[in-house]
Amino acid sequence: MLAKRIIPCLDVKEGRVVKGINFEGLRDAGDPVEVAKRYDEQGADEICFLDITASHEGRDTILQVVEKTAAQCFCPLTVGGGVRTVGDVRRLLRAGADKVSINSAAVKSPDLLQKASQAFGSQCIVLAIDAKREPMPGSGGMYDSEVGQSGLCEALGLNIRQMMDWMHGIKTRMDELPKRARDPRAPEWTVFIHGGRINTTLNAVDWARLGTALGAGEILLTSMDADGTQKGYDLGLTRAIAEAVDVPVIASGGAGGLEHLVQAFTEGKADAALAASIFHYGTHTISEARQVLRSRGIEVRDP
Amino acid sequence: MKIAVIDYGLGNMRSVEQALAHLGAQAQLTSAPADLEAADALVLPGDGAFGDGMKGLAEHGLVEPIRALAKTKPLLGICLGLQMFFESSEESPGAVGLGLLKGCSKRFTGAAFGAAGGLKVPHMGWNRLSMARPHPVFEGVADGSHVYFVHSYYVAPADAADVIARSDYGGPFCAVAGRERFVGCQYHPEKSQRAGIRMLRNFLDWAGR
């Protein structure tokens, strides 16, 4: 039986850890390699780096971070953020990443998932989805305040006509998938890109299904509503996606305590739970998390 | 100790090389048959499709050297490397394996898998090993240890005596197989933290004997 995974995630900007890390005895708490090594020693089941470097010039720093980490950490390493091309995926894998997550670029060009998974195998292509709950059931991805179509066009680098073609292309492909049962009163979620700033109006469950049909081997699912609240994962979202795809789902966004991890696996039906603050600030250790999960009958690893 | 990590253009060879280097071995990524000849032991890693793997070995002129050297030098196969020890795979009909062991690779299928059964393919993550028989590579590794798997196909040895350890995913399957001086594991020891590093260290010790 597969063990449920606990994954600490580090936001990295120009080679430095962004959120504060509070570990005793770390020489440099801003060095992602040192932090990753500490998590590896604690028995993390996997480590995730999210590169949030904005500038194009700064992008290569993540490759050095990955290379140094892979030389010292002997657990799986997932890297994402700013991945746009098959070449980007290749460079990260060659630097020592085991999996590469793709977010906005996959929405812009879903074929990227197909090309990357054909080139390197589905097992190393993770589709990252940032999803937000629709304000009202059946509202179809419309929100009160948003940048709307013009923002979406700008983010995609398309004019309005091209954007309509792009949208039509994706929706046609979604329609070609086997029909799924939809309850009009049940909540739905919409996909946002560019760090959650741009509403794509795409339905998150349909996008997850299309992404996995195209070759993504795992879904890294972040709830924008829950992220940063420390009030727990969006269990409805997590469960909706986990039940809709046949690849593993990593729950992300909202973990504020160990009970939230338990919920991600039980109610949320996730395969892995990603967390940042609860581990970074030293509130809990990975091994405490493991003990709590085990005491609740969830299969976890004995490191 | 000189270890040749066989590079035939597929998968993440670097992690294996780095893990071996971490243990003090002189690990060399190579696709030259002469380097294999000169090494004390061989590691055959790999991710990806069986057919592509065998094609990669053939293109580098490595099929016959590996077949021959497996009789004389310690050889560790990892993931696809283990699958290529066998004769064939359902993944790539028609492709011929190294044939060091009899049997083939099969895809995880059946009622337990997919939307109906709930088990996902690839089998990806940490799962337990259960030893079928003692082996020097598993000295000091507790029975039931978790190791890191990423695969959609598993090997089905024709001869049960070749099975060294099993894991369970919708039913038991062979996770480690080998004979004489070659041993292959379906999971990634280089990604299996303490337990995996211990296995690699054991392999080096065993190769040195």
Q: Residues A126-155: pLDDT tens digits?
A: 999 999 998 877 677 776 656 678 889 999
Q: Is A270 on the interface with B (CB under 8 A)?
A: no
**CATH architecture entry for A5-295:** Alpha-Beta Barrel (3.20)
From B50's Cα to the closest Cα of chain A, the distance in A is: 12
Q: pLDDT at position B87, please?
A: 98
pLDDT mean across residues, chain B: 94
Question: What residue type is B150 in one-letter code?
Answer: V
- pLDDT score, position A20: 63
Chain A touched by B14 (CB under 8 Å): yes
Q: What residue has token string 């028995």?
A: A43
Report domain extents, chain A.
5-295
A123·B120 Cβ contact <8 A? no
Q: What is the pLDDT of residue B132?
A: 97
Decide if pLDDT at B108 tops 60.
yes
The boundaries of the domain holding residue B186 are 2-208
Residues whose CB falls within 8 Å of the CB of residue A164, separated by 6 or more in sequence, listed in order: none
Q: Are A208 and A245 in contact (CB under 8 A)?
A: yes
Q: What is the pLDDT of residues A251-269, one digit of tens each?
A: 999 999 999 999 999 999 9
Closest residue in A to B198 (Cα) is A74
Is residue B171 helix, strand or coil?
coil
**CATH number (domain holding residue B187):** 3.40.50.880
A287 DSSP 8-state letter: H
Q: Which residues of A are catalytic?
A: 11, 130
Residue B22 contacts A where some CB pair is shorter than 8 Å = yes
Q: Is the pLDDT of residue B115 over 90?
A: no
Tell me the C-alpha distance between A212 and A106, whole Å: 11
Here the tokens at position A83 are 């991945």
The reported pLDDT for the residue numbered B122 is: 84
Residues A251, A220, A226: CA angle, nearest 5 degrees: 45
Q: B12-48: per-residue pLDDT in tens?
A: 678 899 999 999 999 999 999 999 999 999 999 988 8
B137, HSE (Cβ side, Cα atoms, 13 Å): 26
Report the pLDDT value the prediction gives residue A146, as an integer from 0 to 100: 60
* Residue at token pair 């589905």: A122
Question: Is A70 in Cβ contact with B125 (below 8 Å)?
Answer: no
Note whether B45 contacts A: Cβ–Cβ < 8 A.
no
Measured in angstroms, the CA of B170 and the nearest CA of chain A are apart by: 8
Tell me whether residues B121 and A246 touch, CB distance under 8 A. Answer: yes
Residue range B93-120: average pLDDT? 90
The reported pLDDT for the residue numbered B133 is 96
Burial A158-177 (b: 16+ CB within 10 A, else e): beeeebeebbeebeeebeee
0.80 exceeded by the pTM?
yes
Average pLDDT, chain A: 91
ipTM exceeding cut-off 0.90 for this assembly:
no
Angstroms from B117 CA to nearest CA on chain A: 10
Q: Do A233 and A139 meet the contact criterion of CB atoms below 8 Å apart?
A: no
- Among residues of chain B, what percentage have pLDDT more than 70? 98
Residues of B in contact with A45 (CB under 8 A): 125-126
Structural contact between residues A276 and A251, judged by C-beta atoms closer than 8 angstroms: no
Which residues contact residue B64 at a Cβ distance below 8 angstroms, ignoring those fewer than 6 apart? none
Chain A within 8 Å of B161 (Cβ-Cβ)?
no
SS3 assignment for B167-197: EECCCEEEEEEEECCEEEECCCHHHCHHHHH
Question: What's the confidence (pLDDT) of residue B48?
Answer: 80
φ, ψ of residue A209 to 5 degrees: the values are -65, -40
**Number of domains making up chain B:** 1
Could you count the other beta carbons within 10 Å of the beta carbon of residue A270?
Answer: 27
- Could you read off the pLDDT tens digit of each residue along chain A, which spans 303 residues? 899 999 999 999 989 998 766 766 677 778 999 999 999 999 999 999 999 887 777 778 999 999 999 999 999 999 999 999 999 999 999 899 999 999 999 999 999 999 999 888 888 999 999 999 988 776 777 766 566 788 899 999 999 999 999 999 999 999 999 988 888 888 999 999 998 889 999 999 999 999 999 999 999 999 999 998 999 999 999 999 999 998 999 999 999 999 999 999 999 999 999 999 899 888 899 999 999 999 999 999 988
Confidence of residue B185 (pLDDT cuts 50, 70, 90): very high
